[in-house]
Amino acid sequence: MEIRELRPEELRRVCDPQQFSFKSTEELTELSEIIGQERATRAIDFGIEMPCQGYNIYALGPSGSGRATAIKEFLQRKASSGKVPDSWAYVNNFDDPYQPRAVRLPSDEGCTIRDEMDELLEVLREELFRAFESEQYQQHYNRIGRKLDEARTAKFQGLEAQMIERGFALLRTPMGLVIAPVIDGEVLSREQYEKLAPEKKSDLEKYRPDLQAELEKTLREVRELEREAKEELRHVDQETADYTIGHHFEALRSKYPDLEGLLQFLDAVREDILAKVEQFKKPPASKGKAPSDEDPFAFMARFRRSPFEKYRINVIVDNCDVQGAPVVEDGNPTYHNLLGRIEHRAEFGTLVTDYGAIKAGSVHRANGGYLIIEALDLLRSPLAWEGLKRALRNSEIKIEEMAQQLGLIATASLAPEPIPLEVKVVLIGDPQTYYLLYSLDEDFQELFKVKADFAVDMDWTSDNLEKVALFVHDRCQDENLRHFDLEAVAKIVEYASRLVEDQEKLTTRFGHLNDTVHEANYWASRNGHDLVTAADVQRAIEEKVYRANQIEVRIREQIEKGLIMVDTEGEVVGQVNGLSIINLGDYYFGRPSRITAQTFMGSKGVVNIEREAKMSGSIHDKGVMILSGYLGGKYAQDKPMNLSASICFEQSYGPVDGDSASSTELYALLSRLSGLPIKQGIAVTGSVNQRGEVQPVGGVTKKIEGFFDVCRIKGLAGGQGVIVPERNVKNLMLRDDVVEAVREGRFHVYPVSTIDEGIAILTGRDAGERQEDGTYPEGTVDYLVDKQLAQLAIKLKDFGKKDEEEAKEEDS
Evaluate if residue 789 carries a pLDDT over 50.
yes
pLDDT grade for 801, boundaries at 50, 70 and 90: low
Q: Considering only 182-186, 582-586, 638-642, 690-694, which range has the smallest mean pLDDT?
A: 182-186
Residue 73's pLDDT is: 83
Residues written for the chain: 812
Q: Is residue 762 classed exposed, middle or buried when 0-12, 13-18 and 19+ CB atoms within 10 A define those classes?
A: buried
Which residue, among 478, 465, 375, 361, has the nearest Cα to 421 in the 3D structure? Answer: 361
The distance between the two most distant Cα atoms of the chain, rounded to a whole number of Å, is 166
pLDDT grade for 55, boundaries at 50, 70 and 90: very high
User: 417-432, pLDDT tens digit by residue?
Assistant: 999 999 999 999 999 9
Q: What is the mean pLDDT of residues 300-323?
A: 82
Specify the pairing of strand 644-649 against strand 505-507.
Answer: unpaired
Give dist(CA 80, CA 642) in Å, integer.
75
Chain Cα centroid distance, residue 546: 32
Specify the 3-state DSSP secondary structure of 374. strand
Rg (CA), the chain: 47
Rounded to the nearest integer, the mean pLDDT of the chain is 87
Q: Considering only 90-94, 183-187, 217-221, 510-514, which range has the smallest mean pLDDT?
A: 183-187
Which residue, among 360, 422, 361, 363, has the nearest Cα to 395 in the 3D structure? Answer: 422
Higher pLDDT, 169 or 811: 169
User: 498-540, pLDDT tens digit by residue?
Assistant: 999 999 999 988 888 999 999 999 999 999 999 999 999 999 9
State percent of the chain over pLDDT 70. Answer: 90
Residue 105 CB contacts under 8 Å (≥ 6 apart), including other chains: 86, 87, 88, 89, 113, 259, 262, 315
Evaluate if residue 288 carries a pLDDT over 50.
no
Give dist(CA 705, CA 708) in Å, integer.
5
Evaluate if residue 471 carries a pLDDT over 70.
yes
pLDDT grade for 194, boundaries at 50, 70 and 90: low
pLDDT grade for 640, boundaries at 50, 70 and 90: confident
Q: What is the mean pLDDT of residues 214-222?
A: 82
User: 543-574, pLDDT tens digit by residue?
Assistant: 999 999 999 999 999 999 999 999 999 999 99
Evaluate if residue 758 carries a pLDDT over 60.
yes
Residue 480: Cβ within 10 Å count: 7
Higher pLDDT, 173 or 238: 238
Please report the DSSP string for 406-436 in residue order: HT---S----PPPEE---EEEEEE-HHHHHH
Evaluate if residue 456 carries a pLDDT over 90.
no
Residue 667's pLDDT is: 96
